């Protein structure tokens, strides 16, 4: 009955918030029998769980998830985000429209018939569900599937139609642990009804920390089912949450030790009430999620495993004294 702490995603190879040269060593030696540095293997030397984002952007493929399972230790667990078609139909539709717009030229729009076809294609079918289940089967069969994450956008409000759809989705994935992230305040305003819906399917109400606005959901951080508990920390970068030059900018936030205590104490208490507890840091800009995940593990009294490159400790002195450095590297002293 321990708390599993990890990050949301493990691969951020480019952009202003890349992990290369910070968490992943600047000099990236190849592993025996491979032709490239294996980020997932390296990550799994430090954490026992990860939340996967790529399954949101495309249906998972069995050959890919099978490789993930093979490249991680026996006790490692994955949390897999549901494909965007299940939770973000508008985003799915826009992604499908891109090639149509390219063919029509800049500023073109899809004809009405094509738009109607895209609306039809955006409807979830049994085939979509079967394809997702087949894609994640290698991880589930290996005993490495922690939970599925159904992350809905703030535009997903509490309405009879939304409740009906959520019930159908939870029924379709009822044989998995499913965590549901709801972000619009209408769901917490109808607290009892929302709780009843989720509890009926043993689904965890995902507890989230993020910048709060008028329409943002309100939560008490308490577990709602005994099966498992699921918490995500997105950061508190209010200034760049909605307006940013790069999409990663909104996750450019480092929690202080004092800010994290609320969550480590909550997760520590939750583990006494539930069978499994998952805590993920999604403030991934420049590996800040890694730093905060380590700090959370330390606050929970968990061992800090693996060796860390000097670059991450130099950039984030919060890790000084918490992590083991690569051999031959002297730990920098804490400023001040």
For the CA atoms of 178, 179, 185, 191, the dihedral, rounded to the nearest 10 degrees, stands at 70
Q: Is the pLDDT of residue 95 over 80?
A: no
Record: fold of 3-325: TIM Barrel (3.20.20)
For residues 155-178, average pLDDT: 97
Residue 167 pLDDT > 60, yes or no? yes
User: How many angstroms separate the CA atoms of 234 and 333, rounded?
Assistant: 29
322 in Cβ contact with 298 (< 8 Å): yes
DSSP of 222-256, one letter per residue?
--S-SSEEEEEE----GGGSSS-SSGGGGG-----
Supply the pLDDT for residue 229.
98
pLDDT recorded at residue 101:
53
* Mean pLDDT score, 285-294: 98
What ranges do the domains of the chain cover? 3-325
Mean pLDDT of the chain: 90
Q: What is the pTM of this model?
A: 0.90
> Are 4 and 270 within 8 A, CB to CB?
no
**For 218-268, how does the pLDDT look when each residue is reduced to its tens digit (9 = 90+)?**
999 999 999 999 999 999 999 888 887 778 889 999 999 999 999 999 999
Q: What is the mean pLDDT of residues 292-305?
A: 97
Q: What's the mean pLDDT in 45-52? A: 98
**pLDDT tens-digit profile of 78-93?**
999 999 999 998 887 8
Report pLDDT for 329.
46
């Amino acid at each position: 009955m321990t708390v599993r702490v990890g990050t949301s995603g493990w691969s951020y190879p480019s952009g202003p918030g890349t992990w290369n040269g910070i968490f992943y060593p600047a000099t990236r030696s190849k592993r025996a029998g491979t032709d490239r540095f294996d980020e997932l293997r390296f990550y799994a030397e430090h954490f026992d769980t990860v939340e996967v984002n790529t399954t949101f952007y495309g249906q998972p493929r069995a050959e890919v998830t099978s490789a993930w399972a093979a490249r991680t230790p026996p006790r490692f667990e994955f949390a897999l985000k549901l494909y965007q078609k299940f939770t973000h139909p508008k985003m799915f539709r826009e992604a499908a429209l891109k090639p149509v717009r390219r063919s029509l030229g800049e500023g073109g729009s899809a004809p009405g018939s094509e738009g109607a076809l895209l609306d039809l294609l955006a409807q979830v079918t049994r085939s979509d569900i079967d394809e997702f289940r087949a894609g994640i089967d290698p991880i589930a069969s290996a005993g490495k599937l922690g939970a599925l994450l159904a992350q809905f956008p703030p535009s997903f409000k509490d309405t009879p139609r939304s409740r009906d759809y959520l019930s159908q989705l939870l029924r379709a994935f009822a044989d998995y642990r499913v965590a549901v992230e709801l972000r619009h305040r209408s769901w917490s305003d109808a607290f009892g009804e929302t709780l009843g819906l989720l509890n009926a399917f043993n689904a965890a109400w995902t507890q989230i920390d993020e910048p709060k606005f008028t329409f943002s959901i309100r939560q008490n951080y308490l577990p709602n089912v005994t099966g498992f508990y699921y918490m995500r920390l997105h950061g508190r970068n209010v200034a760049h949450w909605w307006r940013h030059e790069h999409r990663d900018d909104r996750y450019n936030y480092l929690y202080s030790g004092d800010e994290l205590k609320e969550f480590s104490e909550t997760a520590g208490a939750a583990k006494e009430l539930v069978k499994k507890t998952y805590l993920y840091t999604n403030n991934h800009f420049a590996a800040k999620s890694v730093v905060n995940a380590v700090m959370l593990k330390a606050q929970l009294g968990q061992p800090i495993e693996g060796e860390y490159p000097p670059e991450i400790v130099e950039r984030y002195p919060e890790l000084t004294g918490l992590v083991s450095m690569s051999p031959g590297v002297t730990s920098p002293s804490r400023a001040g």
